[in-house]
A and B are shown apart, each in its own frame.
Chain A
């Protein structure tokens, strides 16, 4: 099973600043990686798939990069509604799907 590791566990950022979140796989997943945002009491929301393709309706301040084993989610100019937990998920070669442990982006 491919294990996904996210870092840092918590990221403290001021509104308007940039946030950079990392996700690493134990083996290559090529570009088969998605990112999700989850707010308290809500279901997750798809942000990015194919490592860099924004899902419908996702603002341009969210961008994904990377391939193979190392991936990054960048949020430029953080807005108040962006403070949440973010998860990466690989889907290389189909199931099983595996998620990272999450990064909480909190207000500094």
Chain B
């Protein structure tokens, strides 16, 4: 079974960017969709956007248009999420998650804590 393995925790300054990776371990993304979901401390789940790696097609939540870029490297079975213009409100855990297209989510990465602090 494919496991999603994310990169480690990051501490960033306000105004900077962060790039988080998500690798499919033990397999490939195949025709799956990969979403990025954010969770601020003590808060709910927020869908940021997603990609179908096989086709490279992306979709973003309106809130994140222009600040989030999701890319895929099929050769390394890795999906990336880059968030720019960081503020303290971007502090939280970022999950990559895989599903059938961009619909329900069947499996999740372990999460990556991003802390934005001066």
CB distance from B117 to the nearest CB of A (A): 21
Q: Which range contains the number of A residues in contact with the other chain?
A: 20 to 34
User: Quick check: A91 and B102 within 8 Å, CB to CB?
Assistant: yes
Q: Is A107 an interface residue (CB 8 A)?
A: no
Q: How far is the CA of A99 from the CA of B35 in the complex (A)?
A: 13
CB distance from A38 to the nearest CB of B (A): 8
Measured in the bound complex, the distance between the Cα atoms of B47 and A76 in whole Å is: 29
Residue of A nearest to B103 (CB): A91
Please tell me if A63 contacts chain B, counting CB pairs below 8 Å: no
B-chain residues with CB within 8 Å of residue A100 when the two chains form the complex? 44
Alpha-carbon distance between A49 and B47 when the two chains are bound, in angstroms? 17
Q: Are B45 and A87 in contact (CB under 8 A)?
A: yes
A32 close to B110 (CB less than 8 A): no
Known: A43-B95, A94-B102, A94-B103. A99 touches B108 (CB 8 A): no
Alpha-carbon distance between A94 and B46 when the two chains are bound, in angstroms? 16
CB of B94, distance to nearest CB on chain A (Å): 11
Interface size class of B (residues with CB under 8 A): 20 to 34
Please tell me if the beta carbons of A94 and B59 are within 8 angstroms of each other in the complex: yes
Known: A89-B104, A94-B102. A99 touches B110 (CB 8 A): no
Closest partner residue, chain A, to B33 (CB atom): A95
- Is B53 on the interface with A (CB-CB < 8 A)? no
A43-B95, A43-B108, A43-B110 known; A95+B45 contact, CB < 8 A:
no
Contact B104–A44 (Cβ < 8 Å): no
**Most chain-A Cβ atoms within 10 A of its Cβ — which of B44, B97, B107?**
B44
Closest to A100 in B: B44
Q: A1-B62, A43-B95 are in contact. Are A97 and B101 (CB under 8 A)?
A: no
Question: Can you list 25 A-B pairs with a CB-CB distance of less than 8 A?
Answer: A1-B62, A34-B104, A36-B45, A43-B109, A44-B95, A44-B105, A44-B108, A46-B105, A46-B107, A49-B103, A49-B104, A50-B104, A87-B45, A91-B104, A94-B101, A95-B47, A95-B50, A95-B102, A96-B47, A96-B59, A97-B103, A99-B46, A99-B47, A100-B44, A102-B45
List residues of B whose CB falls within 8 A of some A CB.
35, 37, 44-47, 49-50, 59-62, 95, 97, 101-111
